[in-house]
Each structure stands twice: as structure tokens, then as C-alpha cells.
Structure 1
Amino acid sequence: MKLYKKILIALDTSEQSWHVFLEALKLVQEKGTWAVVVTVAPVYLGDLGLTIIDDVYDKIYAPYEKLMKKVQEVLNEKNITAKCVLEEGDEPFEKIVDAAYAFNCDLIIMGRSGSKLKTFFLGNTTARVIGYSPVDVLVIPYPKNVGFKKILVAVDGSPFAEKAFSKALALAKEHQSKLFIISVVDIPMEIYAVAPEIGEKALEKRKTYIETLVKKANEEEVKAEGFLRQGLADEKIIEVAKEIEAELLIMGTYGRTGIKRLLMGGVTERVLSIGALPVLVVK
């Protein structure tokens, strides 16, 4: 993935996270890419006066040190030079984002896990990393693999979607992929009942928009195909992704401040929560 020069890989001690690490290494192995691997050990908040220090170490910190040792062994085996960082904190997303800033990374790769998986990186951490990250975030759900033969990008005409399309186009050119462009229009039935021409105009406008993007991709010598759907955006995006067997979905999100950063909200978060395929969230 030559589009990104410095990749941060965030992982924990779970099997699901290890899968993400191995998938990320496939991207790092491409020429010109540098990586930093970050894991965050939880902080012990109990009473140290009532606890044997060695016991705390064995239960909390040792597994993370063992993980980083395993990471280094794999890096050596694959002849990959990377910076390994073991942090400590009760809010892992803060350490991940801080590391992205500190090492000037331009992409964060991490996983997501369902509520049944008692791992350190749950959906809340992923959402917060995306909310606070200054750079793009690639979320790889277990046990999916990242590929670039078929890239699907979701657009809605907003400036954020335009950035996502530009990134999708660049990746498609780099990997000689076929680019699929989807836009979903959700028109309430009440509108059709009262003023059907409003819905028809909205669909026609979005159709023209998609055709413009397809033409732009073709001018860049990228094969492209557009899809216009009606209904709930997250459902239709996943539906088309499965239909075309997309290997990567690219979506935009918008910047938030304060408490709103804790909740991504909207279509992007709902699509991520499904975990149907890897999603590149363009900031």
C-alpha cells in the first residue's frame, strides 16, 4: 500500500487482533512502507498494599510483554523493520492516537470485535480511535482478509465523501483494481405521497453525480461501475458489497469535537459494527 508511508498497527493479546497484525504485515511488506506496532497494557487500579507485585505483573503486564516479543520474532522472521511500542493506560485509544501523532503515521490499522469477545479492543475503542485520529483508519474484522481487486467506495455528495472517493481512486490506480461506486438515497414514503417529483429529482441528481465519478475514474484509466440504491444506507452498502464480492470498502467520516468524538454515529459506524469486510475510514 504505497499510498501510505508510515503505518501504525494497534493490537491486543487476542487471537482476533493477531489476525489483524498478520494482515497488516502484508501491506507493510510493500516497498517504501514503515511501521510502528503499538499495544496498550491496562493499568492496575487496585490496592497495591493488598496485592503481591509479582502477581499483578504476571496477570496484567506479562502477557503484553510476551505479545511484543512474539511480534518482534515475526518481524525478524519476515525481515521487516518496525518500531515496537508497549504502552500502559486505562484508555487505549489515547495511547494509539498519541503514537500516531508522535511517529507521524498516515494510517492506523486495527481490528474490531463483537460484544461476545472479551478483548481489550472493543467497538468503543475502535470508534474512539476513529473519532480522534488525525489520519485514516483501516478496520479489519476477524477473520476477513484485505484485498484490492474489488474496491467499493460509498459516496453521498458531501466533501467527506469526495475525500473518500479520491483515496479510493488512488488505491485503485495503485493496485489496478476495479472501482465500484455506490450512493444510497433514503427518501421517506411521505415525500413520495405528497410530492413525488422531489424524490425523482433527488434520484436523478444522485445518478448524474455517480456518472460523473465513474467518468472521472475512467479518465484516470481505472475501470469503474456505479450503483444507485434506495433505502437505508448501511443495509444497501453491505448488500452491494456482498453482491460484487468487494474486498475493501472505503467510506468517509467527518471531524467531531468534544463528547461527540466518543460516538462516531451515522452510516459509517453502523457499517463497521456489522463487520462484513475491511473498511478504510478516510478522515
Structure 2
Amino acid sequence: MIMHRPKTIVVGLDGSPASRGAFEQAMILAASLRARLVAVSVAPSLAGLERIGREEIRELSRPFEQALEDASDAAARAGLPLKKVLEAGESFERLVDVAEAEEASLVVIGDARRAYMERVLLGRNVAKVIGYSPCDVLVVPEGTRLDFTRVVTAVDGSRQSMAAAGRAIGLCAAYAGKLDVLAVVDVPVERNLIYGIFEDIKRRALIAVSAVVKAAQAREVTALATVLEGAPFRAIAGFAAEIGAGCLVLGSYGKSGLRRLMLGSVAERVLALASCPVLIVKSGPGDPDDVVGALDP
């Protein structure tokens, strides 16, 4: 099932339209999974501000307090219990700290709509949350809605991507969704001159997507395989947009690995272009929804 039915979902709030949209989607998910919902808002650190007045300090925290109050009202209207946490400091650090303290299974964050380069340069906080998070992270671009009836997962044959594919299968099984399994073959022009290399890479891609489709069919999930050529980040984001996906599922390389992966990587660029929510699966191989065994000899 989705993320093994998380007992706790932690949502980051800063009062922006993107974070409010993420909270709305988190409420729907929490209701579906009967999960605890924890809202976290991180105000600027007060260190070094001793010389300004108390009212000025209070003014700095007020928007973040208001974000929590608004979330509390929304949760009450939906009949959902909500734990509110107000922190101060570096936003990604405090959010991750709360996720660890609450033993969260999922962190949900919004991502503001900006021009592509702005999202790459200013979205580093999103990348840091993902890199340091102890659990899966759902990134909800501003103005998008989470929909598990059409899910896309991208695989490259790695154990991490196959574990994410397993999670995607679980999502589709739980929500009667359809799964699109995508692999992208990216071979520079000069390498095409090397005899057989393109065919070998494409063969490996076909093996990966076929393994996921087979695992999906074993759970009575409709799955389609697609292999594309080109720049992976553009191909993945473009494919998800073209078919109207409601969720894109990608694998991570662990806590420290994803920190390196996300900065200037394919995954970060996919997030910058994504037209739907993106679930980054932090769990490793061996989980119940992992299909990596399908590739083992």
C-alpha cells in the first residue's frame, strides 16, 4: 500500500499559496490513510536580533503563526486532528528535525511556481529537505492536485529506481490506478559511433521497464512500458505532462546520496519542470513493494 500506510504525515507551511496547496493535498491523503497530520512552520531565527524590540520580533513570527492557525481551521473543517509545531531557524533543518522526532513516514512540501531557472536556483531548500529527510517526500507544485489514478515512475535499472517503481505499483493497487513505466536512453552523439553501445543501453532499459510491468501485472495493476531517447529530465517531466499524470514517482539514493544527487541533478531538474506532484521514495531495496528482485538472476 502507499508508503506502508504512514502513521504520521508532516507538512511544511510558510503561508505561501504553494504551501497551502500542499497542505490541502496532505489533508486528503491523511484522511484516506487515517494518518496523523503534523503542520510545521519555521520562522526566521532570532539569533542576533536581541537589539530589536519584542514587538518587532513578534512581527517576524506572526505570518508563520498565522499559517498554522489557518491550517488548524482547515483541518477542523475537514474533521482532521492536527498537531501544530512552530520552530525558528533554518527551515529545512527544523522541518527534518520534526519529521525525525515524530517518526514521520511522509513529508509534504509545496513548490512555488517560478520560471525554470528560478526554480532550479531557488528550489535548493526543497532539494535539501529531500536530501536530509528520514522518509519519503512528496513535493506538490503550486496549483497541482495529487491523483493516484494515473501514476508515472521512471526507472534506470538501479535498485533505487526499482524500489520506487515498487512503491508506484503499491499506489496503483491501492487506488485502482494505471501505471506508466518510463525509461529514458540518453546517449551523446559521439558515443553512438561506438558499435553496439546504444543497443546495449536500450536493451537494459527494456529489461528494467519489462520487470516493472510484470510485477504490476502480478498485482492486477494495468501498466504500460515506454522507452524514450533524449535528456532524461526533460523526457520524464514532458512525458508526465503529456499523459496528464497525477503523480510522478522517483527513487532516491539514500540520505547522503540524494543530497549529492539533487544538487544540479536530473531529479532536481525534473522537480523544476514537473506539472504534477512528485513522490521521492527514500526507502531502500527490500521493502514489501520493492520489485528489484525481478532483475536478480
Give your verdict on TM over 0.5. yes
Q: Which runs of 5+ in 1 are unaligned?
A: none
Q: Distance in 2 between matches of 1:259 and 1:144?
A: 24
Amino acid at match of 1:33: A
Match of 1:18 in 2: 20
Secondary structure at 1:48 match in 2: coil
Query: How far apart are 1:262 and its partner, in Å?
Result: 9.2
Query: How far apart are 1:115 and its partner, in Å?
Result: 5.5
Match of 1:9 in 2: 11
* Cα pair distance change 1:262/1:221, threshold 3 Å: closer
Match of 2:57 in 1: 56
Match of 2:80 in 1: 80
Amino acid at match of 2:61: Y
Q: Distance in 1 between matches of 2:76 and 2:250?
A: 34
* Cα pair distance change 1:280/1:259, threshold 3 Å: closer
Tell me, yes or no, if the aligned pair for 2:261 and 2:267 is still in contact at 8 Å.
no
Q: Distance in 1 between matches of 2:66 and 2:208?
A: 51
Q: Distance in 2 between matches of 1:162 and 1:239?
A: 21
Q: Distance in 2 between matches of 1:242 and 1:28?
A: 26
* Cα pair distance change 1:47/1:6, threshold 3 Å: closer
Equivalence map 1:81-100=2 (5 Å): 81-89=81-89, 91-100=90-99
Mapped pair 1:133 → 2:133: yes
* Cα pair distance change 1:259/1:154, threshold 3 Å: closer
Query: How far apart are 1:209 and its partner, in Å?
Result: 2.5
Q: Distance in 1 between matches of 2:258 and 2:180?
A: 34
* Cα pair distance change 1:47/1:109, threshold 3 Å: closer
Q: How many residues align?
A: 275
* Cα pair distance change 1:31/1:182, threshold 3 Å: closer
Amino acid at match of 2:25: E
Tell me, yes or no, if the aligned pair for 1:109 and 1:138 is still in contact at 8 Å.
yes
Q: Distance in 2 between matches of 1:106 and 1:239?
A: 29
Secondary structure at 1:183 match in 2: strand
Residues 69-78 or 33-42, more deviating: 69-78
Tell me, yes or no, if the aligned pair for 1:75 and 1:81 is still in contact at 8 Å.
yes
Q: Distance in 2 between matches of 1:3 and 1:136?
A: 12
Amino acid at match of 2:194: V
Tell me, yes or no, if the aligned pair for 2:213 and 2:225 is still in contact at 8 Å.
yes
Tell me, yes or no, if the aligned pair for 2:155 and 2:208 is still in contact at 8 Å.
no
Match of 1:238 in 2: 237
Mapped pair 1:178 → 2:187: no
Query: How far apart are 1:256 and its partner, in Å?
Result: 4.9
Query: How far apart are 1:45 and its partner, in Å?
Result: 4.8
* Cα pair distance change 1:239/1:150, threshold 3 Å: same
Q: Distance in 1 between matches of 2:58 and 2:73?
A: 22
Amino acid at match of 1:160: Q
Q: Distance in 2 between matches of 1:208 and 1:174?
A: 25
TM norm structure 2: 0.86
The percent identity for this pair of structures is 34
Q: Distance in 2 between matches of 1:161 and 1:261?
A: 16
Match of 1:36 in 2: 38
- Deviation readout 1:12-42 (Å, 9 max, x if unpaired): 0212211111121111112421111111011
* Cα pair distance change 1:229/1:269, threshold 3 Å: same
Q: Distance in 2 between matches of 1:154 and 1:4?
A: 23
CA RMSD of aligned residues (A): 2.1
Tell me, yes or no, if the aligned pair for 1:13 and 1:67 is still in contact at 8 Å.
yes
Match of 2:169 in 1: 169
Query: How far apart are 1:151 and its partner, in Å?
Result: 0.2
Q: Distance in 2 between matches of 1:258 and 1:247?
A: 27
Tell me, yes or no, if the aligned pair for 1:151 and 1:179 is still in contact at 8 Å.
yes
Query: How far apart are 1:78 and its partner, in Å?
Result: 1.5
Tell me, yes or no, if the aligned pair for 1:127 and 1:262 is still in contact at 8 Å.
no
Tell me, yes or no, if the aligned pair for 1:184 and 1:233 is still in contact at 8 Å.
yes
Amino acid at match of 1:101: E
* Cα pair distance change 1:171/1:47, threshold 3 Å: closer
Query: How far apart are 1:240 and its partner, in Å?
Result: 1.4
Q: Distance in 2 between matches of 1:8 and 1:140?
A: 13
Mapped pair 1:27 → 2:29: yes
Query: How far apart are 1:114 and its partner, in Å?
Result: 4.7
Secondary structure at 1:181 match in 2: strand
Q: Distance in 2 between matches of 1:203 and 1:221?
A: 27
Tell me, yes or no, if the aligned pair for 1:9 and 1:38 is still in contact at 8 Å.
yes
Query: How far apart are 1:57 and its partner, in Å?
Result: 1.1
